[in-house]
Structure 1
Amino acid sequence: MDAKLWEQVVVLHARVEHDLGRTLQRRHGIGLSEYRALSRLAVAPDGELRMQELADSIGLNQSSVSRLAVRLETDGLTRRDLCPKDRRGVYTVITDDGRARLTEAARTYDQALTTALEKAAGDPQLAEVATALGAIPTPVG
């Protein structure tokens, strides 16, 4: 991959992330990191992950995921639980309210992602990389 294409990937990523985060916050009161955490928890066995596993799965450091877990817990979307085998291990567990919020937000996420990629495909600087993702058909004409 050449430097120019990589720069397009970086710009596309930043724009899409910004659009997704803004839309999720406006419509569902959660940010992109919260959405991703709920998504990972929803598919995890028993709906729970150790804090470090959650951090690794969404690309955050331990400190950031701890603050994220507090926000989700405060909103009633997750709860904390101790590992029965190792009382020092802390799990974050998705709640029924968390699953409901995720279900509502998933439709918005998919729509916002499609819209952001379509917008990028119309930008001459990003069209090549947006089309290369395969999510957007190559423009005709």
Structure 2
Amino acid sequence: MAETRWLDEREMAAWQGFLEATSRVSRHLEQQLKEDAGLSHPQYEILVRLSGTPDGEVRMTDLAEGLVTSKSNLTYQVGQLEKRGLVRRRSCPTDVRGVLAALTDEGRDVLRAAAPGHVAAVREALIDVLERDEIDVLARALGRVGARLRPPRQGTGSADSGGSGTSSS
């Protein structure tokens, strides 16, 4: 059995800083979205992902993978958005087992109204706190972490899906 490689003081400071920062940024964004748009952060991200496609539709399984969430959590979140008329679900025309989530006009309007406040909150909590070179380092470092932990895409055998893996926040 390999010997445990304990974190040294510098590594522990980085780890603890990452944990605190991600928790605080997440809470800050969640609160801002709830107060300003009546959305949870996962719901906002669903609307963003749908709006980023030409037809405003994405297969539920692809959406879950892209958002790094379980299918059951995605189903719940999409159900909440569907109740508000922001998203609708329909059968996939090319796969009888597939379900598509589709952005409605009302969903697009809610996203358009929520985006400026959300971007301001992202800037306040993270972007404007950092120097330009720190943003570049953070993007590269977290990109590598995400790529290392991303499961291989079926049929490619590679952990890198070729996409940026980024989201709006």
After TM superposition, is the score higher than 0.5?
yes
The residue number in structure 2 matching 1:5 is 14
DSSP 3-state at the match of 2:126: helix
Q: Please show how residues 34-53 of structure 1 align to structure 2 within 5 Å.
A: 34-53=43-62
Distance 1:44 1:115 in 2: 28
DSSP 3-state at the match of 1:9: helix
Q: Please show how residues 56-135 of structure 1 align to structure 2 within 5 Å.
A: 56-117=65-126, 121=129, 130-131=130-131, 132-133=134-135
Distance 2:111 2:22 in 1: 22
Distance 1:105 1:3 in 2: 37
Identity of aligned residues (%): 33
Higher relative contact order (CA 8 A, sep 6+): 1
Distance 2:119 2:30 in 1: 12
Gaps (5+ residues) in structure 2?
Answer: 1-9, 137-169
Cα offset, 1:3, TM superposition: 3.0
Cα offset, 1:28, TM superposition: 0.6
Distance 1:12 1:133 in 2: 14
Q: Residues 42-65 of structure 1, C-alpha deviation per residue, up to 9 Å, x if partnerless?
A: 012311111111111111111100
Q: Give the number of equivalent residue pairs.
A: 125
Letter matched to residue 82 of structure 1: S
Q: Residues 17-63 of structure 1, C-alpha deviation per residue, up to 9 Å, x if partnerless?
A: 10111111111110100000100000123111111111111111111
Distance 1:34 1:55 in 2: 12
Distance 1:21 1:7 in 2: 21
Structure with more of its chain in helix, by fraction:
1
Tell whether the 8 Å contact from 2:88 to 2:102 is kept in structure 1 after alignment.
Answer: yes
**1:33 aligns to 2:42 (yes or no):** yes
Cα offset, 1:114, TM superposition: 1.5
Distance 1:77 1:84 in 2: 21
DSSP 3-state at the match of 1:53: helix
Cα offset, 1:118, TM superposition: 7.1
Gaps (5+ residues) in structure 1?
Answer: 122-129, 135-141
Cα offset, 1:108, TM superposition: 0.8
Letter matched to residue 133 of structure 1: I
Cα offset, 1:98, TM superposition: 0.7
